[in-house]
């Protein structure tokens, strides 16, 4: 699908997909209604076993489809789409989203306002209840010093209603891969998604690397989309729990300077232990198993993690790293939420 206008930057929408044309179809129809006038739409199929590819060709002949021989996950699927195209901006998009017709223009306006902006996220609302923010990113992601992710409008499982409080654009720590506009030249500098993540937190890792290289990550609350959270991988699945825990630890080891790891990593492992005990108390056997497996995976891959840390370190600019660390919440969002009862970002105290 292509809509061209010589005065607008080219935007290539990249949608990784695996099975379930019934959820992809509303997304593509929603994009057809987009008012942005220089837009390509690409679906990267991760070896679907249903009729997805045939249905896309039949129902949306202007959409470009790239077929992978195997499931490369969210990270690998997105990377295939970026490598096979050439664009000013890449708009990473989940297949279970729908959108306001004019949602792309505010993203572009924000991106064009500063050449140092590398990533922009819209306001992500729940498709099931459009009055509340979606779990997968809210109005932009944040991170505490122990690398627990949370978001403007969502902390752990608590989601806020949209009352206009977060309507002013601001810098964020990470932009959700649910809908993420990326600058092509920034990707040329720091690289694409880390495919070892497969799925979950690959966008946080990328945004961390971008900031360490002196790029900005911001939100654009004037842009609004709607997300059917958990369609591809429901939250109660073992694989989702495992990937979240494993990738979080891998991300810490990869992106923190060595001087911080000696303090941060042991403290983070202690919280993994706390999560294990809590999971035992509520009989969440899947999470217990996921925590053990994720810690084990990181323990048994020291050379891979050392290589990732070293390669990420080549891109770090000392002054930018210092600024990135200051953007993190200096306390523990885990303790603020579970012990202090603070359920909203606006209530969190330094």
Task: Tell me what the mean pLDDT of segment 104-124 comes to.
Answer: 98
Task: Tell me what the mean pLDDT of segment 47-56 comes to.
Answer: 97
Residue 232 has pLDDT above 90, yes or no: no
Q: What is the pTM of this model?
A: 0.95
Residue 223 has pLDDT above 80, yes or no: yes
- pLDDT tier at 234, thresholds 50, 70, 90: confident
Whether the Cβ atoms of residue 206 and residue 177 lie closer than 8 Å to each other: no
Residue-wise pLDDT for 190-205, tens only, equals 999 999 999 999 999 9
218/122 Cα distance (integer angstroms): 9
Percentage of the chain beyond pLDDT 70 is 97
Give the H or E element holding residue 248: helix 238-255
Burial of residue 205 (number of CB atoms within 10 Å: 0-12, 13-18, 19+) = buried
DSSP 329: B
SS3 61: coil
Burial of residue 277 (number of CB atoms within 10 Å: 0-12, 13-18, 19+) = exposed
Residue 40 has pLDDT above 50, yes or no: yes
- pLDDT tier at 2, thresholds 50, 70, 90: very low
What DSSP string runs through 127-181?
A: SS-TTBB-TTTTT-EEEBTT--EEETTEETTEE-B--STT-S--B-SB--TTEEE
Residue-wise pLDDT for 265-322, tens only, equals 999 999 999 999 999 999 999 999 999 999 999 999 999 999 999 999 999 999 999 9
Q: What is residue 128's predicted lDDT score, i.e. its pLDDT?
A: 94
- pLDDT tier at 350, thresholds 50, 70, 90: low
344/308 Cα distance (integer angstroms): 34
CA-to-CA dists, residue 81 to 40, 105, 175, 253, angstroms: 11, 22, 19, 28
Domain chopping of the chain, boundaries: 2-227, 238-320
63/43 Cα distance (integer angstroms): 7
Pairing mode, strands 117-126 and 179-183? antiparallel
CA-to-CA dists, residue 151 to 174, 208, 292, angstroms: 9, 15, 26
- pLDDT tier at 229, thresholds 50, 70, 90: confident
216/324 Cα distance (integer angstroms): 10
Residue 1 has pLDDT above 70, yes or no: no
What DSSP string runs through 72-125?
A: -HHHHHHHHHHHT---SEEEEE-TTEEE-TT-HHHHHHHHHT-TTEEEEEEEEE
Q: What is residue 7's predicted lDDT score, i.e. its pLDDT?
A: 75
Q: What is residue 231's predicted lDDT score, i.e. its pLDDT?
A: 67
Instruction: Please list the residues that pair with 225 across neighbouring strands.
Output: 99, 124
Residue-wise pLDDT for 149-207, tens only, equals 999 999 999 999 999 999 999 999 999 999 999 999 999 999 999 999 999 999 999 99
Give the H or E element holding residue 337: helix 333-338
Of 48-62, 85-99, 220-234, least confident by mean pLDDT is: 220-234
Question: 212-233: b or e for each residue (b if 16 or more CB lie within 10 Å)?
Answer: bbbbbbbbbbbbbbbbbbeebe
Residue 124 has pLDDT above 50, yes or no: yes
At the topology level of CATH, where does 2-227 sit? Answer: Spore Coat Polysaccharide Biosynthesis Protein SpsA; Chain A (3.90.550)
Q: Find the distance separating the first CA and the last CA of the chain, reported in whole Å.
A: 47
Q: What is residue 236's predicted lDDT score, i.e. its pLDDT?
A: 80
Residue-wise pLDDT for 27-39, tens only, equals 999 999 999 999 9
229/188 Cα distance (integer angstroms): 30
Q: Which residues contact 301 (CB under 8 A, 6 or more apart)?
A: none
């Amino acid at each position: 699908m292509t809509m061209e206008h010589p005065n607008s930057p080219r935007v290539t929408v990249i949608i990784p997909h695996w099975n379930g044309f019934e959820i992809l179809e509303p997304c593509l129809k929603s994009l057809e209604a987009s008012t942005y006038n220089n837009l390509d739409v690409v679906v990267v199929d991760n070896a679907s076993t249903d009729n997805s590819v045939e249905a896309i060709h039949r129902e949306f002949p202007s959409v470009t489809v790239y077929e992978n021989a195997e499931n490369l996950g969210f990270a690998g699927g997105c990377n295939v789409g970026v490598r096979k195209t050439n664009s000013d901006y890449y708009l990473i998009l989940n297949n279970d989203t729908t959108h306001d017709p004019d949602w792309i223009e505010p993203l572009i306006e924000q991106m064009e306002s500063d050449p140092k902006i590398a990533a922009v996220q819209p306001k992500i609302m729940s498709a099931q209840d459009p009055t509340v923010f979606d779990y997968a990113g809210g109005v932009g992601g944040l991170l505490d010093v122990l690398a627990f992710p949370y978001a403007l409008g969502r902390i752990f499982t608590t989601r806020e209603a949209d009352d206009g409080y977060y309507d002013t654009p601001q810098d964020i720590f990470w932009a959700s891969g649910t809908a993420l506009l990326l600058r092509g030249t920034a990707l040329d500098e720091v690289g694409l998604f880390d495919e070892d993540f497969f799925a979950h937190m690959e966008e946080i890792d990328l945004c961390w690397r971008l900031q360490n290289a002196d790029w900005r990550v911001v939100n654009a609350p004037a842009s609004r989309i709607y997300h059917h959270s958990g369609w591809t991988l429901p939250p109660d699945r073992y694989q989702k729990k495992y990937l979240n825990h494993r990738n979080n630890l891998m991300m810490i080891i990869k992106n923190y300077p060595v001087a911080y790891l000696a303090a941060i990593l042991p403290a983070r492992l202690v919280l993994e232990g706390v999560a294990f005990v809590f999971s035992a108390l509520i009989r969440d056997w899947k999470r217990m198993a996921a925590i053990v497996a994720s810690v084990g995976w990181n323990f048994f891959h020291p050379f891979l993690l050392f290589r990732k840390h070293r390669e990420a370190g080549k891109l770090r600019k000392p002054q930018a790293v210092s600024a990135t660390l200051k953007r993190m919440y200096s306390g523990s969002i885990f303790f603020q939420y579970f012990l202090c009862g603070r359920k909203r970002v606006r209530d969190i105290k330094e």
